[in-house]
Copies of this chain bind each other. A is one copy, B any other.
Amino acid sequence: MNKLNLTKQRKVILDLLQHSDDHPTASEIIERLRDQGHHFAYGTVYNSLKYLTEMELIRELKLGETASRYDARTDDHHHIVCKRCGKVDEVLTEVPAEWLKAVEQETAYRVDHAHVVLEGVCPACRIPQA
């Protein structure tokens, strides 16, 4: 049971994510760090994100874009992406257990986890323009 090793850099990055209300990519994180006066090496940011993910302090989101996004919410939840503006929101409604059961029956796999990315149109983008 190796204990948590939060270096200065890792703390700053974790803090940044915890105070973000969106889901930034690594390069957005680097940008924001620069804005705060931090000039961590490129590799350090990736290394820190990987470490924080392994320690389950943050989650890495692979939403089908070219770059991963990061989220300080670690409870199990899903995401919905607006196909118009690209906004990403959280989805807390959990996938029905019966559906997972049905998949186990169909595939003969043991199902451990469902990773769901929903696609739709966000409230703002649905407002009809004049």
**Residues on A close to B: CB < 8 A?**
62, 64, 80, 82-83, 89, 91-93, 95-96, 98-100, 102-104, 106-123, 126
Contact = CB atoms under 8 A, between A and B. Distances in A.
Contact of A111 (B62, B98, B118): B118
Which applies to chain A's interface (DSSP): helix, strand, loop or mixed?
mixed
B121 A110 contact: yes
B115 A117 contact: yes
Contacts of A113: 118-120
Contacts of A102: 93
B112 A121 contact: yes
Contacts of A111: 80, 118-120
A109 B103 contact: no
Given A107-B120, A115-B119, 6 more contacts: A62-B62, A80-B103, A110-B126, A112-B121, A113-B118, A116-B117
